[in-house]
Chains A and B, each alone.
Chain A
């Protein structure tokens, strides 16, 4: 029982438990190629870390995991830097707005609710869609068919102005959709402490129609900068980044991810995705139950902000 004191959360926590949580989520993120923030932040909240601290600290951890992830993709030249930079314009705007929103909601005493509701909504939708998709893929594989991929088709995205050429992605599209996607991801990073890969990757594939091989690298590339900005903004605006907690999570995550990657290569894609979908839905359900059931204690205490 090695306890470590968290200076910002102002509580003592079992270091083995946090390392284990970091490693477990790191393992999953290595296995599925997801950031893991959407699992880590709720787990931190379940262990009693104040939600605002969990979100800001998790953003800090994602900087580390996305640096190593993006580096691996970079070596295989799977990063569309230009696309990443355009998305970052939106990402920065979204982060700034999101962190301010957190501050306002904290003053109003509604930040915990906002974080929980965001998670229930996003995890519920994503988990549901993933489950449907992986079940369909599983039945199709069983039937011997391969999933068809439509490409080169034009959609409404191509009617928008400010067109730019993205050589790496072999695209000539308007800069507006990437900027908007970036902004949404920045907002989610600030409010939920997630990288936003789970929104960005489908959006890049289905809306922007980027080639799949550059999607993950480009998304990781932009996540580095968005989560770095979110970390700094939370540190300056809300003082909610717990550096000790973040460091322990980073170490656990780095180790877990390595084993996850190996495990992921040995297992079947559709079954893995179905498994992840079920886990995502369980987390969403747990958060929903906490919101709906009458709590044991109706009252909460918080320091009055601005009166130190």
Chain B
């Protein structure tokens, strides 16, 4: 039995092996990318930073016309934090926070840059599964059967507010013209991190699409961290708060004493 089966399959297997390199080349264009720097230091003069993501599509055999339909999406994601969004309403004549909504694991920074609008690049479910676009980070909440329409709308308003405020801070960025082809295979994307960026591990995902299909993905890591004096202070404030507080008082006493010594008039 075994002998017979192998006999039948052997020519087919050989054929497959022979054509394998060819089909591989057709299906797998690769993408390579890197960052202008893998590390961003928050120093005392930090006012934000510019990052350039650049790379190349590895498939030189394609003709220029075909290469033109490549789509690239670059996603940069900062460490996830839990957030609370609060909404003000007028009470007793003043505007005060009256309702709130907590969000778990929202990236402190999220940028999505692409060669053209995301909706033209791939179907929403593909984008969502790969974490591309604001909708994948903060999905529009579905109105469940247990909610009133009003509650459902309120949840959507809170979600929209998070995106809106983060965008205004510069911590959420979407730019559907943000990835530029310098040549047929060489691309570049530039983005600015605001001064308020959180420190931590950032990930950079570069996706290569063609005709709505994900062809390749390349990942890079980016570290944002406070350094030197800024780091010392931040670490002290959260890890040794008592010592930090005592030193802050001591510095104040020294400044106060020095001021009266320097400016003494009597």
Chain A residues close to B by CB (< 8 Å): 2-5, 7-8, 10-12, 60-61, 63-68, 71-72, 75, 109-110, 113, 117, 228, 231-236, 239, 241, 243-244, 246-247, 250-251, 254, 257-258, 291-295, 297-304, 307
Please give me the 3 A-B residue pairs with the lowest Cβ-Cβ distance, nearest first. Answer: A67-B256, A235-B245, A299-B161
B97, A110: Cβ atoms under 8 Å?
yes
B252, A231: Cβ atoms under 8 Å?
yes
Tally of A-B Cβ pairs under 8 angstroms: 182
The answer, among A3, A232, A292, A303, for a CB contact under 8 Å with B94, is A292
B43, A228: Cβ atoms under 8 Å?
no
Q: CA of A20 to CA of B100 in the docked complex: distance in angstroms?
A: 37
- Nearest B-chain residue to A232, judged by Cβ: B245
Within 8 Å of chain A (Cβ to Cβ): is B82?
Answer: yes
A71, B86: Cβ atoms under 8 Å?
no
Q: CA of A7 to CA of B236 in the docked complex: distance in angstroms?
A: 11
Least distance between A69 CB and chain B CB atoms (Å): 8
A64, B85: Cβ atoms under 8 Å?
no
B260, A71: Cβ atoms under 8 Å?
yes
B residues near A247, Cβ cutoff 8 Å:
251, 255
Within 8 Å of chain A (Cβ to Cβ): is B93?
Answer: yes
The answer to whether residues A303 and B83 also contact, given A63-B252, A113-B97, A247-B255 and a CB cut-off of 8 A, is: yes
A residues near B161, Cβ cutoff 8 Å:
297-299, 301
- From 159 to 205 in chain B, residues with beta carbon under 8 angstroms from any chain A beta carbon are 161-162, 164-166, 195-196, 198
A residues near B251, Cβ cutoff 8 Å:
64, 243, 246-247, 250
List 19 additional A-B contacts (Cβ < 8 Å) besides A71-B260, A301-B161.
A2-B45, A7-B233, A10-B198, A11-B196, A67-B252, A67-B257, A71-B256, A72-B260, A109-B86, A113-B94, A234-B245, A243-B233, A244-B44, A254-B258, A295-B88, A298-B95, A301-B85, A301-B166, A302-B83
Q: CA of A63 to CA of B160 in the docked complex: distance in angstroms?
A: 43
Chain B residues close to A by CB (< 8 Å): 42-48, 81-90, 93-97, 100, 102, 157-158, 161-162, 164-166, 195-196, 198, 226, 230, 233-234, 237-238, 241-242, 244-249, 251-253, 255-260, 263, 266
Q: CA of A112 to CA of B195 in the docked complex: distance in angstroms?
A: 23
- Nearest B-chain residue to A303, judged by Cβ: B81
- Nearest A-chain residue to B108, judged by Cβ: A303
The answer to whether residues A251 and B249 also contact, given A71-B260, A235-B241 and a CB cut-off of 8 A, is: no
A7, B237: Cβ atoms under 8 Å?
yes
B residues near A254, Cβ cutoff 8 Å:
255-256, 258-259, 263
Least distance between A70 CB and chain B CB atoms (Å): 8
A5, B230: Cβ atoms under 8 Å?
yes
A301, B165: Cβ atoms under 8 Å?
yes
Q: CA of A246 to CA of B251 in the docked complex: distance in angstroms?
A: 10
B residues near A10, Cβ cutoff 8 Å:
196, 198
- Can you offer 20 A-B residue contacts whose CB atoms are under 8 A? A3-B45, A3-B195, A5-B44, A5-B195, A7-B233, A61-B252, A63-B249, A64-B251, A232-B246, A241-B237, A247-B251, A254-B256, A254-B263, A292-B94, A299-B157, A299-B161, A299-B165, A300-B97, A302-B83, A304-B84
A residues near B42, Cβ cutoff 8 Å:
5
B94, A68: Cβ atoms under 8 Å?
no
Q: CA of A235 to CA of B250 in the docked complex: distance in angstroms?
A: 13
Least distance between A48 CB and chain B CB atoms (Å): 11
- Nearest B-chain residue to A288, judged by Cβ: B94
B residues near A304, Cβ cutoff 8 Å:
81-84, 102
Least distance between B181 CB and chain A CB atoms (Å): 34
- Nearest A-chain residue to B243, judged by Cβ: A235
A68, B245: Cβ atoms under 8 Å?
no
A residues near B241, Cβ cutoff 8 Å:
235-236, 239
The answer to whether residues A239 and B249 also contact, given A7-B233, A64-B259, A110-B96 and a CB cut-off of 8 A, is: no
A residues near B44, Cβ cutoff 8 Å:
4-5, 244
The answer, among A12, A251, A292, A293, for a CB contact under 8 Å with B46, is A12
A residues near B258, Cβ cutoff 8 Å:
254
B260, A68: Cβ atoms under 8 Å?
yes
Q: CA of A2 to CA of B161 in the docked complex: distance in angstroms?
A: 33
The answer to whether residues A307 and B82 also contact, given A63-B252, A243-B244, A250-B252 and a CB cut-off of 8 A, is: yes
Q: CA of A24 to CA of B203 in the docked complex: distance in angstroms?
A: 45
A residues near B248, Cβ cutoff 8 Å:
60, 231-232, 235, 241, 243, 246
The answer, among B157, B242, B255, for a CB contact under 8 Å with A251, is B255
A299, B46: Cβ atoms under 8 Å?
no
A residues near B48, Cβ cutoff 8 Å:
12
A241, B244: Cβ atoms under 8 Å?
yes
A residues near B165, Cβ cutoff 8 Å:
297, 299-301
Least distance between B99 CB and chain A CB atoms (Å): 10
